[in-house]
Structure 1
């Protein structure tokens, strides 16, 4: 599974190498060189679309540099006279922000509302493809622009004329790997979220899922089709930037899980800072119409400041030899290199040909995913080790459950033992003294699993020391309490002990908070409950255990059980109950014990509608029949 995923990621990285490039058709005419401009403060609004203005000259690529706080700009050039395109289109790679295009005084395209003072200005920074009339040679092209972006206003990088089909094909081909990569991010997010559920809420999987989810939204939204999918161009811009703002929140949360217990203050502070920035920025954008692009410098500064403590933690732990930190450092170096390239290209310090931020983020998340799958591998190994240990513990526990003797004068035995987990807290044992008297004990330790099983094992050891007092139930219970006292670590034990005489139909008994046993009499055709009153062992420092006794008739049946039997639930959460148990035993009390046992198991299966008997507690039951003659 992991190998297949790695191959998919490798293919995606190769595809990514063809993405994020400036879309360039085969046949095009660049409209670079001298352009003329006039600022809004000097604009003759009557001659906006056509007519005389006080023009100045600037060079494209580039923007006018004497803005002085003006938010309105009119620029113009004359289209070449030598172009001959069948379906001509104008490509504006980036232009900030709202604008209207005029061709020889006629409006041919409008984005947003550049003429409004109060309307919200969209921070759309992606390509515009504008259809031109076939006869456009030598015509005057004017672009009226309104922008609240403080750094610059106007077109950035490329403006060209080309065949519309060619430019659309180039844009879609350039964006296609981005869609594939975005979809891959979404798949990874789903897989990681499933692992979060399967791991019983391991937060590192949730944070990674959210991180790749938001990065997937970022990757797909930064494409031509996504940006033109909505009628309102502000919606995809908001989606893009909100994904961008949330990414560092979950990056800090994810790394906080990796370094759990270390540097806690740094990670909590980072999460708080970026969460605060997200809510403040969202409020400024949606409520106060603060341009998204004007938050760019603040966001970049916060990201840079936030990276420094993360880098310190990663480098520090890498030096200490932490493997996961070294993996993170590798991804971080790749991301930092790619981001540095794009920043230098933004400041025109190097030639802009391709944005490689996407490479860096992909590999950064790829390396983080490597840590995740590494942890998943160890979780699986630890789970397998735990399962093996539990199976060994189960075999050990089953080995200490004393088998009932096959041939005992006057008595027959059988039992049912079904722990809720591999090992459980229910336990029974049998001892026979030198006079042939039989002691049978059933114990139910609170809780389940290994801890309860260990206490049950201690109870067996304690019971084994009662060999000489089997005929005194109260003394047996007292010795059990004395032995287990202060050893149960907030657990408690219910117990039922029976002393079976070897010479007469006498049963002496004592109990400690355990469910009543059942006496099934076929002669009287009735079931009687019996027990003594005492609190469970471990509730009080010292208990006053009582004892009582019963005389039996030949064929009488005794059933001792734990509450896991009567509390067995059907699909509607109705409990099995002692009444159903008593009725079944009375109806079948004359049958051999193995057959009664099988009828009980079948009835449990029928009740739970489950072949394996779905249990919420350990299920233990002992059947004892008196077969001797009454003397």
Structure 2
């Protein structure tokens, strides 16, 4: 008996296999917001399974378990319009007046009611007549919408329309036959579905590979940005007698928005730490502009406020709505003095180990970029042996734990004081390990923002 239905079995299995292939391919892009391949796969798989269990010879071979097949057919009939309209929304949008979205919502509600009612009545297909009416109505709405689209149709939409109209004619015929409205009983909806399947497969595959091309192009851009960044960030901090300076940074993405650099003259150093709004390629390009702008301020390295003014004028009008926060510190290792200025940046910390005191280097300057005439002020500093300076970006204090609680300024100050006995490099390693442990994430996972910190110890022999 199965031999008589071999053609129907083959067609149904082929549809189900197509669905499984589409689902498998969609698993490679779970983070993508394009659900066309996923919805297409679910739709085809459900259609194929229903086609198999509808075959009488398959039910006869179930050896007493055929009672479950009508329920499978009924539940799938209620559910199958849902992935179909998800796919339609992915391809054609929400439709005029959001009709496609309303169709999806109505089928979700109807599927829940239909399945619940079948179970309550202990009888399958109790609401199939209403289901047929609902399908005919929304199919009519679908046809009107695609014939009079809100926006001009794309090439892939036109390809899909060919198979869609053929399939919808078969669907309308099948539902009208089921309602005994037509005179004939001919119903081969699966033929229309095969035609639609070919068109859907083309569109889904086309979208998948187009997205792959776009992702590849993005990856190439990111590789270029990584190369740019690898060239603009210093490999090491300089060796200066009487100072031990160490920097650490961990990008949130492949390309960080944080930037740091230094200028050196004799036993004097000027360090800039900046945080560019955003991440990725744009942030890396602004970082390269920062490097050039900072380098041009070498004659004024002893005046951090003037350095920030010069950088701000360079950036203004060139960073397209972005902005930069920054802090700049100048240290004369021979004199034990320095100057500090900030531009909308978190306050750096001065830890006086011998006096068990931690001083916040609060700045009053505004962010760099948007305001051409911004003014910045210096704060004079006097250092003692064993003083420690910590510069950092907001990724440190704004790291969150599983309760979405910020690490915060107070925890950072407490950590700085509690670990003052560590060397500069050991301190930064301990700080980053503590941030990961506090956030509840493995060290191989990125945090919510770029992490950058620089420690300068006064009176230590250089240990770079």
TM-score normalised by structure 1 residue count: 0.56
Q: Deviations over 1:560-607 (max 9, x none)?
A: 111112233345545444455445544554554333343334434444
What's 2:122 paired with? none
**Any idea what SS the aligned residue of 2:355 has?**
coil
Map of 1:535 onto structure 2? 366
Assess, with a 3 A threshold, how the Cα gap between structure 1 residues 270 and 226 changes in structure 2: closer, same or farther.
farther
Instruction: Note the residue ranges of structure 1 that are not aligned, 5 or more in a row.
Output: 1-24, 26-168
Aligned equivalent of 2:297? 466
Residue aligned with 1:455, SS: helix
Q: Is the 8 A contact 1:509 1:531 kept in 2?
A: no
User: Quick check: 1:222–1:240 contact (8 Å CA) kept in 2?
Assistant: no
Aligned-partner Cα distance in 2 for 1:386–1:231: 49
Q: How much has 1:510 moved relative to structure 2?
A: 0.9
CA positional deviation for 1:232: 12
Match of 2:123 in 1: none
Distance 1:325 1:468, change over 3 A: same
1:625 and 2:453 matched: no
**1:156-555, aligned counterparts within 5 Å?**
176-177=9-10, 180=13, 183-184=16-17, 187=20, 190-191=23-24, 194=27, 197-199=30-32, 201-205=33-37, 207-209=39-41, 211-212=43-44, 215-216=47-48, 219-220=51-52, 222-224=54-56, 242=78, 246=81, 254=87, 257-258=90-91, 265=96, 322=155, 324=156, 328=160, 331=163, 356-404=188-236, 406-433=238-265, 437-501=268-332, 503-538=334-369, 542-555=373-386
Distance across 2 between alignment mates of 1:494 and 1:419: 17
Count of residues paired in the alignment: 439
Tell me the TM-score normalised to structure 2 length. 0.73
Which deviations, in whole Å up to 9, do the C-alpha atoms of 1:164-199 show, x marking residues without a partner?
Answer: xxxxx6788676547645754664675477567431
Instruction: Provide the residue aligned with 1:17 in structure 2.
Output: none
Three-state SS of the structure 2 residue aligned to 1:489 is coil
CA contact (8 A) 1:512 1:533 kept: yes
Whether contact under 8 Å (2:46, 2:76) holds in the other structure is no
Deviation, 1:547, is: 1.5
Change (3 A) 1:179 1:232: closer
Give distance in 2, aligned partners of 1:395 and 1:412.
Answer: 28
CA shift for structure 1 position 376: 1.6
Deviations along 1:194-240, whole A, 9 cap, x unmatched?
Answer: 567431x224345425643663465356444779966998x788657
Mapped partners of 2:219, 2:68: distance in 1: 56
Match of 2:444? Answer: 612
Q: 8 Å contact 1:414–1:594 — kept in the other structure? A: yes
1:263-317 Cα distance to aligned partner (Å, 9 max, x none): x65x96677789989999x99xx9xxx997799899779968966986899xx98
* Secondary structure of the structure 2 residue equivalent to 1:202: coil
- In 1, are the aligned partners of 2:350 and 2:358 still within 8 Å (CA)? yes
Judging by fraction of residues, say which structure has more strand: 1
Question: Closer, same or farther in 2 for the Cα pair 1:512/1:553, shift >3 Å?
Answer: same
The 1-side partners of 2:101 and 2:422 are apart by 69
Query: Highest relative contact order (Cα 8 Å, sep 6+), 1 or 2?
Result: 2
356-365 vs 440-449, which moves further = 356-365
In 2, Cα distance between equivalents of 1:305 and 1:609: 49
Point out where structure 2 has 5 or more consecutive residues left out of the alignment.
118-125, 177-181
CA apart distance, 1:404: 4.8
CA distance in 1, matches of 2:310, 2:167: 69
Question: Per the alignment, do residues 336 and 457 of structure 1 end up closer, same or farther by CA in structure 2, a change over 3 Å counting?
Answer: same
Instruction: State the distance in 2 between where 1:298 and 1:372 align.
Output: 26
Work out whether 1:564 is the aligned partner of 2:395: yes
Question: Residues 604, 184 of structure 1: CA spacing in aligned structure 2 closer, same or farther, 3 A cutoff?
Answer: same
